[in-house]
Amino acid sequence: MMFPWRRVRVALLLAPGLLVITALPGFAVDIVKLRLGTIAGAGWSAEAVSLQLNLLDERHAALLLQAQRVALPDGFGELSTLTLSCARAQITTTAVSCAEGTLKTQSTMLGQQHIQLTFRYQLDTGRIDTALRDIHACDGTLSLRARLSDTRWQIDATGTALSLPAVTRQLAATGIALPVVTGSAGLDVTAQLSGVSSQLQEADVEVRLLAEEVSDAAGSVAAENLDVSLHATVKAIATGMRVVLDLSGRQGALYIDPVYVEMPPQPLQINARFDWSSAGQQLLLHSLSYRHPGSVLVEGHGLFSLAADAPIRDLQLELRQANFPSLYDTYLRPWLYGSMLADLDTAGELSGVLYWEQGKLSRVSLDPVNLTVNDREGRFGLNAVTGRVRWSDTAVPARSELAWSSGSVFQVALGATDLVIDAGHDYIRLAQPVAIPVLDGALQVANFQLQRGADAALRWQFDGLLEPVSLSQLSLALGWPELAGKLSGVIPDVHYDNGDLEVGGVLLVRAFEGEVTLRNLKLQQPFGLVPRLQVDARADNIDLETLTRTFSFGRIEGRLDGRIEGLQLESWRPVAFDAVFATPEDDNSRHRISQKAVDNISSIGGGGVGGALSRSFLRFFKDFPYDRLGIRCRLERGICDMGGVAAAPEGYYLVKGRLLPPRLDVIGYADRVNWDTLIAQIMAVTARQEVRVE
Amino acid sequence: MKTIRIPVAMTLLLFVAACVTINVYFPAEAAQKAADRIIMDVYGEQPGNTAVPLEPQSRLHHNEMSFPVHALLNWFISPAHAEADISVNTPAIQQLQASMEKRHKQLAPYYKSGAIGMTLNGEVTLRDQKLVPLQDRNTIKSLISKENDDRSALYREIARANGHPEWESEIRAIFAKRWISNAPAGWWYKNTQGAWVQK
Q: What is the nearest CA distance from A640 to chain B, expressed in angstroms? A: 9
Q: How confident is the model at residue B13 (pLDDT cuts 50, 70, 90)?
A: very low
Q: Nearest-CA neighbor of B175 among B194, B198, B150? A: B150
SS (H, E, C) A634-650: EEECCEEEEEECEEECC
A669 in B contact zone (CB under 8 Å): yes
- Closest residue to A616, CB basis, from B69, B75, B149: B69
Q: Tell the burial category of A353 from Cβ atoms under 10 Å away from its Cβ (0-12, 13-18, 19+).
A: middle
Which of the given ranges, A138-142, A299-303, B13-17, has the highest pLDDT on average? A299-303
- Closest residue to B89, CB basis, from A612, A638, A655: A638
| CB-CB under 8 Å, A222 with B134 | yes
| CB-CB under 8 Å, B91 with A258 | no
Best mutation target among B96, B103, B134, B140 (most A Cβ atoms within 10 Å) is: B134
pLDDT digits (tens, 9 = 90+) for A51-81: 898 988 889 999 999 999 998 877 678 899 9
Question: Measured between alpha carbons, how far is A448 from A457 in angstroms, rounded to an integer?
Answer: 17
pLDDT digits (tens, 9 = 90+) for A499-554: 899 998 898 888 888 999 999 999 999 888 899 999 999 999 999 998 888 777 78
pLDDT digits (tens, 9 = 90+) for A255-269: 998 899 999 999 999
pLDDT for B3 beyond 60: no
Q: Give the chain B residue nearest A213 (alpha carbons).
A: B134
Q: pLDDT at position A200, please?
A: 86
- Closest residue to B142, CB basis, from A337, A530, A672: A337
Query: Are the beta carbons of A166 and A110 closer than 8 angstroms?
Result: no
pLDDT for B85 beyond 70: no
Q: pLDDT at position A688, please?
A: 59
| CB-CB under 8 Å, A575 with B91 | yes
B9 is a domain residue: no
- Exposure string of A611-645, with b = 16+ CB inside 10 Å and e = fewer, is ebbeebebeeeebbbbbbbbbbbbbeebbbebbbb
Query: Are the beta carbons of A430 and A462 closer than 8 angstroms?
Result: yes
Question: Measured between alpha carbons, how far is A692 from A213 in angstroms, rounded to an integer?
Answer: 64
Averaged pLDDT, A457-465? 91
Q: pLDDT at position A678, please?
A: 83
Query: Are the beta carbons of A442 and A436 closer than 8 angstroms?
Result: yes
Q: pLDDT at position A686, please?
A: 66
Q: What is the nearest CA distance from B133 to chain A, expressed in angstroms? A: 10
CB contacts under 8 A, A 597-626 vs B, are 598, 601-602, 604-609, 612-613, 615-618
pLDDT for A169 beyond 70: yes
Beta-sheet pairing, A664-668 with B69-73: parallel
Which of the given ranges, A31-40, A164-173, A298-307, has the highest pLDDT on average? A298-307
- Closest residue to A607, CB basis, from B56, B64, B138: B56
pLDDT digits (tens, 9 = 90+) for A555-569: 999 999 999 999 999
Q: What is the nearest CA distance from A472 to chain B, expressed in angstroms? A: 26
Q: pLDDT at position B51, please?
A: 38
pLDDT digits (tens, 9 = 90+) for B40-60: 999 986 444 433 333 333 333
Range of lowest pLDDT (A31-40, A81-90, A399-408, A531-540): A31-40
- Closest residue to B74, CB basis, from A573, A605, A661: A605
Question: Measured between alpha carbons, how far is A678 from A259 in angstroms, rounded to an integer?
Answer: 50
Q: pLDDT at position A181, please?
A: 92
Task: Give A110-158 as a DSSP string.
Answer: TEEEEEEEEEEEETTT--EEEEEEEEEETTEEEEEEEEEETTEEEEEEE
Q: pLDDT at position A638, please?
A: 86
pLDDT for A334 beyond 60: yes
Q: Name every chain A residue with its beta carbon within 8 A of the beta carbon of B72.
A: 602, 605, 607, 609, 667, 669
B18 is a domain residue: no
Q: Name every chain A residue with its beta carbon within 8 A of the beta carbon of B56.
A: 606-607
Q: pLDDT at position B174, please?
A: 95
Q: Name every chain B residue with its beta carbon within 8 A of the beta carbon of A223.
A: 134
The overall average pLDDT reported for chain A is 88
Which residue range is the domain that position B132 belongs to?
28-45+85-199
pLDDT digits (tens, 9 = 90+) for A427-438: 899 999 999 999
Question: Measured between alpha carbons, how far is B56 from A604 in angstroms, rounded to an integer?
Answer: 12
Q: Name every chain B residue with its beta carbon within 8 A of the beta carbon of A612.
A: 62, 64, 71
Q: pLDDT at position A384, please?
A: 97
| Rounded alpha-carbon distances, angstroms, from residue A542 to A512, A538, A561, A658 | 6, 11, 6, 21
pLDDT for A163 beyond 50: yes
Range of lowest pLDDT (A301-310, A480-489, B155-164): A480-489
Q: pLDDT at position A689, please?
A: 47
| Rounded alpha-carbon distances, angstroms, from residue A66 to A18, A128, B16, B114 | 17, 19, 95, 54
**Count of alpha carbons within 13 Å of A254, Cβ hemisphere only?**
18
Query: Are the beta carbons of B42 and B99 closer than 8 angstroms?
Result: no
pLDDT for A4 beyond 80: no
| CB-CB under 8 Å, B95 with A607 | no
Q: What is the nearest CA distance from A668 to chain B, expressed in angstroms? A: 5
Q: Who wins on pLDDT, A667 or A364?
A: A364
Taking the model in full, what pTM does it have?
0.81
Q: What is the nearest CA distance from B40 to chain A, expressed in angstroms? A: 22
Interface A-B, measured as beta-carbon pairs within 8 A, has a size of 166
Q: How confident is the model at residue A617 (pLDDT cuts 50, 70, 90)?
A: low
Best mutation target among B52, B54, B73 (most A Cβ atoms within 10 Å) is: B73
| Rounded alpha-carbon distances, angstroms, from residue A67 to A49, A64, A72, A357, B63 | 4, 10, 13, 58, 120
Helix (H, G, I), strand (E, B) or coil at B194: coil
| CB-CB under 8 Å, A639 with B73 | no
Under an 8 Å CB criterion, which residues of B touch A?
Answer: 54, 56-60, 62, 64, 67-78, 82, 87, 89-92, 94-96, 128-130, 132, 134-135, 137-138, 141-142, 145-146, 149-150, 153, 157
| CB-CB under 8 Å, B74 with A669 | yes
pLDDT digits (tens, 9 = 90+) for A574-599: 999 999 999 999 899 999 998 888 88
Q: Who wins on pLDDT, A651 or A249?
A: A249
The overall average pLDDT reported for chain B is 76
B2 is a domain residue: no
pLDDT for A290 beyond 60: yes
Number of domains in chain B: 1
pLDDT for A175 beyond 90: no
Q: Who wins on pLDDT, B119 or A279?
A: B119
Q: pLDDT at position A542, please?
A: 93
Q: Give the chain B residue nearest A663 (alpha carbons).
A: B68
pLDDT for A303 beyond 90: yes
A629 in B contact zone (CB under 8 Å): no
